């Protein structure tokens, strides 16, 4: 059959199928499906079955369409995933249409295909690494921690005791090392068992020598061993004891575990690489590696080991003595970046594929791509250590520094090695400590009401409780932004809660009714609860006036008791509210802090008397004395002039009972243009505080035109209010009269127009001039002088601002006083 004819028949079949499918879809969408679901359970199950079938078909189509391109096809697990990943679906369809357009152009001859000859063939591009996208991200696999010999319960409220059964290379015996102390939160904790050994560690002399870096072996030629049996661990340990330097790195998973879990450990020497599986049930038997990890004669090279030190202690009971952290070396050398990827690119020219950085390292068997990525983190690290050490020594010699740069790096590395793991204990009362609601609330810009604040604390505690019970991370149960959205919205129905809590995890979906009950109960109790800003105020430690519980204990989320005797809570690092100012004195009230202000003192508290006091040197000499010397504001007139006691040569003032003063007395003599000219400002009348004698005196002074003194009466606040009221009443009366007059005039004009219309003669159309056959030169010609000119009034428009004169250079005119 002709290929063109075959293509047309296929096109017709596809088009007819698409049209029929579109029509059926429109008919189904027009039906009330939720109503049909509620009538019959069989319909609901059938709809769900068909929906899942269509989603799988759509996902297969999208994956097939994206198989020949570099676009990652989105995963369509449910209807919400289809809506959230719609942009990815559109990208796949666009790519498919572009390829179809190109193929059609080639088929029709618009674009000529390339010749297959070697000369015209373009150079073969380097093969690109396949993008895995979300393939190796968090997987829904059985939790390996359930098979451990010590299954985590996450409900312990006691201090974390080191997992050591023995202490190799000890200076202080194990029994004497396991002592306790009280931390900043008032909780009893165990000390670091290798604290003395780390502080007194003497690094080998080779660390301080500048020698030629030892070249690394080829990545393909170096042997790599996957260690997943106790026999393989013993064999690896025997080889590690003979090394002088080893490179170590960890891969951690923290999504489907409450405290996290070490999934993989990479160890490299100059000649060999090991990848240790740390998810085996006997994982705590890896403590035997302390024979190498705690040996000060062997340098342990890490990069960014802050959390690695904590994870090793928590899961494997391993402690590091003789740590060299290349992150601190990169910082000491002032590199623009301190990441391991940057160091690999700088010294080795190796581009690390960071798409596996967030992969799920619990996957077993371990894919080859992830195995090679794990190896690359430590395979080149010892060579990078040599290069960094040489540059640190060279920098010290070049700048002739008193303190060796390597000494600073080693000291910082020791500080990292001294990190301790402390078990997270939830404090529902104060929200302090790791994982508490206090730090989240301080870092959040949200301002909650009492009810919202109560809902926030209750949902935060509920999230932590569910995460502990399911052994999942709190962020997996409910992200931070979802928690804040629920606290703001405070939904009272399940549909509203489902709409707010997006994206919603499976544990929350299964406990949605329980979460709704927590929200309702917290909202009802929050009406009479504490205010958010009161709780965020700096808290005083218990020894400084804080009240501890009567029994000295606090019940945690799971009913356990935590010793909180003399709990000392650290104050916030910044003041929430300032009570006084060294310049302004007491601060003004604000609605944010809910300051209770009575109506009687609102004006006195908020009014600023101007002009400001003269800023003399005495004011800033001792601000506390200046604030203490201020008079009581209850007896101060808010309209009086504020002056400071240090103002020199202050003129005498009139008595407090009189509102009249003489300008000549206070301001001194002045020149007048005319000797007989006098300035007079009449007053608005006596006030309630002015006596009759003062009024009489004032009238006599106004009648005396020969006196040279000028008198001014300051209007009081009551006079000002009366004057404004009178002006307002006058304006209102004037406006009302004007409005009435305009209304009467409009009425008269309307009546006149109506009378003129009644008296007008009817128009005789038989005698009217012809419009279609008008004579332009005859009787009916239009007078050009009377034509309408739309631009006639344009000349009456306001003129623009004149050009501003530019300032000319030269001498400026000096005005005399």
Is residue 237 in some structural domain? yes
Per-residue model confidence (pLDDT) at position 798: 67
Same domain, 497 and 617: no
pLDDT value at 397 more than 90:
no
> Residue 738 burial by CB count (10 A; 0-12/13-18/19+): exposed, middle or buried?
exposed
Verify that 187 and 84 share a domain, yes or no: no
Alpha helices in 584-622 (DSSP H): 602-606, 617-621
Contacts of 658 (CB under 8 A, 6+ apart): 694
Q: Indicate whether 198 and 289 sit together in one domain.
A: yes
Residues 273 and 352 in one domain: yes
Report the b/e string of 682-695 with b at 16+ CB within 10 A. ebeeebeebeeebe
pLDDT for the residue 686? 42
Q: Report yes or no on 816 lying in a domain.
A: no
Sign of dihedral through CA atoms 415, 420, 424, 429? negative
**Taking every pair of C-alpha atoms in the chain, what is the biggest distance, in angstroms?**
132
Could you tell me if 193 and 329 lie in one domain?
A: yes
Determine which helix (DSSP H) or strand (DSSP E) holds 563, and give its type and residue range. Answer: strand 561-563
**Which of 476, 507, 536 lies at the terminal end of a domain, its last residue?**
536
pLDDT, average across residues 481-493: 94
Judged against a pLDDT cut of 50, whether residue 689 lies above it is answered with no
Q: Do both 189 and 301 map to the same domain? A: yes
Q: Write down how long the chain is.
A: 817
Q: Average of pLDDT values for 484-491?
A: 94
- In whole angstroms, give the CA distance from residue 657 to residue 572: 51
Same domain flag for 230 and 313: yes
pLDDT winner (highest mean) among 130-134, 168-172, 766-770:
168-172
Quote the pLDDT of residue 186.
Answer: 80
Averaged pLDDT, 357-382 = 91
Range of the domain at 592: 580-635
What percent of the chain lies above the pLDDT cut of 90? 38
Identify whether residues 348 and 451 lie together within a single domain.
Answer: no
Question: What does pLDDT average to over the chain?
Answer: 76
Residue 278 maps to a domain: yes
Q: What confidence tier does 300 reach under pLDDT thresholds 50, 70, 90? A: very high
- Out of 49-58, 324-333, 566-575, 728-737, which region has the weakest mean confidence (pLDDT)? 566-575
698/261: higher pLDDT: 261
- Higher-pLDDT residue of 536, 727: 727
Per-residue pLDDT reduced to its tens digit, 578-619: 555 555 555 444 444 444 444 444 444 444 444 555 555 555
Token pair belonging to 293: 């990890």
pLDDT at 744 over 60: yes
Which residues lie below 8 Å from residue 206, measured CB to CB, with a gap of 6+?
Answer: 244, 299
Q: Is the domain of 44 the same as that of 90?
A: yes
Q: Could you tell me the CATH number of the domain that includes residue 467?
A: 1.10.150.80
Instruction: Say whether pLDDT at 109 is over 90.
Output: no
Q: How far apart are CA 704 and CA 678, in angstroms?
A: 11
Q: Which range, 139-148, 290-299, 348-357, 419-428, has the best average confidence (pLDDT)?
A: 290-299
- Tens digit of each residue's pLDDT (9 = 90 or more) over 371-386: 999 999 999 999 999 9
Tokens of residue 272, six digits: 């060999």
CB 449 within 8 A of CB 456: no
Q: Which of these three, 108, 128, 160, is where a domain ends?
A: 108
Q: Which residue has the higher pLDDT, 94 or 201?
A: 201
Position 113 in a domain: no
Q: Is the pLDDT of residue 62 over 90?
A: no
If pLDDT is split at 50, 70 and 90, which confidence band does 565 have?
Answer: very low
What's the pLDDT at 40?
78
255 and 396 assigned to the same domain:
yes
- Confidence tier at 809 by pLDDT (50, 70, 90): low
Residues 400 and 443 in one domain: no
- pLDDT, tens digit (0-9, with 9 covering 90-100), for 609-640: 445 555 555 555 555 554 444 544 444 444 44
- pTM of the entire predicted model: 0.55
Q: Does 781 map to a domain?
A: no
Among candidate residues 473, 279, 286, 472, the one with its CA nearest the CA of residue 363: 279
Q: Give one DSSP letter per residue of 727-766, joined into a string.
A: HHHHHHHHHHHHHHHHHHHHHHHHHHHHHHHHHSPPP-GG
Average pLDDT over residues 776-792: 58
Q: Is residue 667 part of a domain?
A: no
Residue at 714 is within a domain:
no
Average pLDDT over residues 133-139: 61
Give the tokens for residue 572.
């916030």
Q: For residue 37, what pLDDT is reported? A: 75
The answer to whether residue 762 scores a pLDDT higher than 90 is: no
Q: Quick one: which H or E segment has residue 274?
A: strand 272-277
Q: Which two tokens stand for residue 47?
A: 């709809």
- Higher pLDDT: 690 or 186? It is 186
The first and second tokens of residue 186, run together, are 């008032």
Reply yes or no on whether the pLDDT at 641 is more than 60. Answer: no
When pLDDT is averaged across residues 259-278 and rounded to a whole number, the result is 96
What is the model's pLDDT at position 183? 84
Question: The tokens of 450 are what?
Answer: 């009492």
Distance, CA of 806 to CA of 208 (rounded, Å): 70
Residue that terminates a domain, selected from 85, 108, 131: 108
Number of domains in the chain: 4
* Listed range (103-107, 202-206, 327-331, 650-654) with the worst mean pLDDT: 650-654
DSSP 673: S
- Rounded-to-integer distance, Cα 242 and Cα 223, Å: 17
pLDDT at residue 526 greater than cutoff 60: yes
Burial class (CB in 10 A: 0-12, 13-18, 19+), 273: buried
Rounded to an integer, the average pLDDT of 541-556 is 39
CATH of the domain at 402: 3.30.420.10
Angle (CA) 461-466-471 rounded to 5° is 125
In a domain, 391, yes or no: yes
Picking from 92-96, 375-379, 573-577, 773-777, which range would have the lowest pLDDT averaged per residue?
573-577
Q: What is the mean pLDDT of residues 65-81?
A: 72
Shared-domain flag, residues 448 and 397: no
Task: Check pLDDT > 50 for residue 20.
Answer: yes
pLDDT value of residue 98: 77
């Amino acid at each position: 059959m002709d290929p063109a004819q075959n293509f047309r028949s296929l096109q017709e079949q596809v088009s007819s199928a698409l049209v029929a499918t579109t029509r059926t879809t429109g008919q189904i969408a027009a039906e009330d499906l939720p109503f049909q679901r509620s009538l019959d359970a069989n319909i609901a199950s059938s709809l769900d079955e068909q929906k899942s079938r269509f989603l799988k078909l759509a996902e297969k189509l999208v994956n097939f369409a994206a198989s020949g391109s570099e676009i990652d096809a989105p995963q369509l697990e449910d209807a919400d995933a289809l809506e959230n990943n719609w942009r990815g679906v559109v990208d796949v369809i666009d790519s498919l249409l572009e390829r179809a357009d190109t193929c059609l152009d080639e088929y029709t001859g618009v674009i000529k295909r390339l010749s297959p000859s070697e000369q015209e063939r373009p150079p073969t591009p380097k093969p690109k690494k396949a993008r895995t996208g979300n393939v190796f991200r968090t997987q829904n696999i059985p939790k390996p921690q359930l098979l451990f010999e010590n299954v985590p319960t996450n409900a312990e409220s006691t201090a974390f005791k080191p997992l050591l059964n023995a202490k190799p290379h000890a200076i202080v015996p194990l029994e004497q090392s396991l002592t306790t102390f009280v931390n900043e939160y008032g909780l009893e904790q165990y000390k670091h068992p290798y604290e003395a050994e780390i502080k007194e560690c003497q690094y080998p002399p080779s660390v301080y020598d500048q020698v030629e870096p030892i070249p690394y072996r080829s990545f393909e030629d170096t042997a790599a061993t996957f260690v997943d049996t106790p026999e393989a661990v013993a064999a690896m340990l025997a080889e590690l004891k003979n090394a002088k330097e080893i490179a170590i790195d960890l891969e951690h998973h923290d999504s489907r575990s409450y405290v996290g879990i070490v999934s993989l450990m990479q160890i490299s020497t100059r000649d060999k690489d090991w990848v240790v599986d740390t998810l085996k049930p006997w994982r705590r038997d890896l403590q035997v590696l302390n024979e190498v990890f705690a040996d000060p004669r062997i340098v342990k090279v890490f990069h960014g080991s802050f959390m690695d030190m904590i994870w090793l202690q928590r899961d494997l009971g391993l402690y590091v003595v003789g740590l060299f952290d290349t992150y601190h070396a990169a910082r000491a050398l002032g590199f623009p970046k301190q990441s391991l990827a940057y160091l690999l690119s700088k010294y080795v020219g190796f581009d690390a594929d960071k798409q596996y950085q967030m992969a799920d390292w619990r996957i077993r068997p371990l894919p080859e791509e992830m195995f090679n990525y794990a190896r690359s983190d430590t395979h080149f690290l010892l060579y990078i250590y040599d290069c960094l050490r040489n540059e640190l020594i060279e920098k010290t010699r070049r700048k002739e520094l008193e303190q060796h740069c390597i000494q600073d790096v080693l000291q910082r590395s020791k500080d990292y090695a001294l990190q301790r793991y402390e078990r997270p204990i939830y404090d529902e009362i104060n929200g302090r400590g790791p994982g508490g609601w206090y730090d989240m609330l301080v870092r959040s810009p949200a301002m909650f009401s009492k009810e919202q604040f109560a809902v926030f604390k209750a949902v935060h505690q509920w999230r932590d409780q569910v995460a502990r019970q399911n052994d999942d991370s709190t962020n997996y149960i409910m992200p931070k932004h979802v928690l804040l959205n629920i606290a703001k919205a405070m939904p009272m129905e399940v549909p509203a809660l489902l709409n707010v809590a997006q994206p919603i995890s499976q544990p929350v979906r299964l406990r949605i009714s329980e979460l709704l009950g927590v929200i309702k109960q917290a909202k009802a109790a929050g009406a009479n609860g504490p205010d958010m800003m009161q709780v965020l105020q700096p808290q005083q430690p218990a020894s400084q006036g804080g009240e501890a519980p009567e029994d000295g204990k606090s019940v945690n989320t799971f009913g356990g008791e935590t010793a909180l005797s003399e709990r000392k809570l650290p104050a916030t690092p910044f003041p929430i509210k300032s009570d006084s100012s060294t310049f302004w004195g007491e601060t003004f009230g604000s609605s944010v802090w809910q300051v209770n202000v009575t109506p009687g003192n609102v004006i006195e508290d908020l009014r600023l008397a101007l002009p400001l006091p003269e800023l003399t040197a005495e004011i800033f000499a001792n601000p506390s004395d200046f604030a203490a010397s201020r008079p009581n504001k209850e007896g101060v007139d808010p309209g009086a002039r504020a002056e400071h006691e240090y103002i020199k040569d202050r003129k005498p003032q009139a008595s407090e009972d009189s509102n009249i003063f003489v300008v000549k007395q206070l301001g001194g003599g002045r020149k007048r243009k005319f000797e007989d000219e006098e300035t007079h400002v009449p007053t608005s009348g006596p006030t309630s505080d002015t006596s009759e004698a003062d009024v009489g005196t004032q009238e006599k002074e106004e009648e005396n035109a020969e006196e040279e003194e000028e008198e001014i009466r300051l209007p009081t606040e009551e006079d000002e209010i009366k004057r404004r009221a009178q002006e307002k009443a006058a304006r209102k009366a004037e406006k009302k009269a004007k409005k009435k007059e305009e209304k009467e005039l409009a009425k008269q004009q309307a009546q006149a127009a109506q009378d003129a219309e009644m008296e007008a003669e009817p128009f005789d159309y038989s005698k009217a001039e012809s419009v279609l056959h008008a004579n332009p030169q005859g009787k009916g010609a239009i007078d050009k002088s009377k034509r309408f000119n739309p631009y006639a009034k344009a000349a009456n428009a306001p003129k623009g601002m004149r050009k501003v004169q530019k300032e000319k250079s030269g001498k400026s005119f000096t005005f005399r006083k």
